[in-house]
Structure 1
Amino acid sequence: MEEYISLKVELRGRRENSILDLEGLEYTEAENRIFRFINMVFRGERFVNLRIEGDDGKAKIIREFERINYAEARERIIEFLKFIYKVEESLPEVEESWLTRYDIENLSQKDKLLLLLKHNHPNEWVRS
């Protein structure tokens, strides 16, 4: 059973203040509505102050960010929504038996990177 979550997004720019209240929406619907809202606000603003609140009935969480651009706002909102909705990112299944076919110790960094990409390893693994 999914929890009842209420959200409030407030964007304060130089020209205007805008507030969006959402209640009882599923993750994807909340995300879509919030992004339509910030798209509208960023048509007239380059930077805003963002305040986002989430309440799941047990706790109220408030995050505030000052003078952020559109890309940062989207990123912060996605992080917040994943946290409040308890969305877990799962890594794709990786077959590790392919490692035995290569002499890993004698491969260059470039060859190792290409092998990781070829065998569908997540970007987080490739970066490390």
Structure 2
Amino acid sequence: MKTIMRNYGILAIALVAFTLSFSTSALANNEKEKIASAIELKFIGHYENQPVFQLNLNNKEEDEFTITFRDDFGNVLYSGKVKGTSISKKFMLNIEEIGDNVLSVEVKAKKNNQAEVYKINRNRSYVEETVVSKIK
């Protein structure tokens, strides 16, 4: 199986054109404060015409996380483990091999055995605009 994911741990991306932030919120004891998730997945731009995503694991205590990318059919495209605190990893998708398939990303913490799942859906839209301007 061809590798369809490339992990760019030290890749610096200056382009932040469109950001998708995923976070969960919970209300404890009817409080109005929202508790943000320690896991964040966001789109940070393109590198060599391939989409790049950044996964931030903002945990204060050391933990081990399993990261799994799956396609529409449940096939595992990438699986890896990271351990530590305040981890940030970048992933570049090879869109030539995955096409327009919807991907799911599961991030599972070992200590509390909880998982968060995110969907990556690439939508394309073409906008045609006609502008009339007065010259004189």
Q: TM-score, normalised by structure 1?
A: 0.35
Q: Which has the higher strand share?
A: 2
Q: Which has the higher helix share?
A: 1
Higher gyration radius (CA): 1
Q: Which has the higher contact order (CA 8 A, sep 6+)?
A: 2
Q: TM-score, normalised by structure 2?
A: 0.33
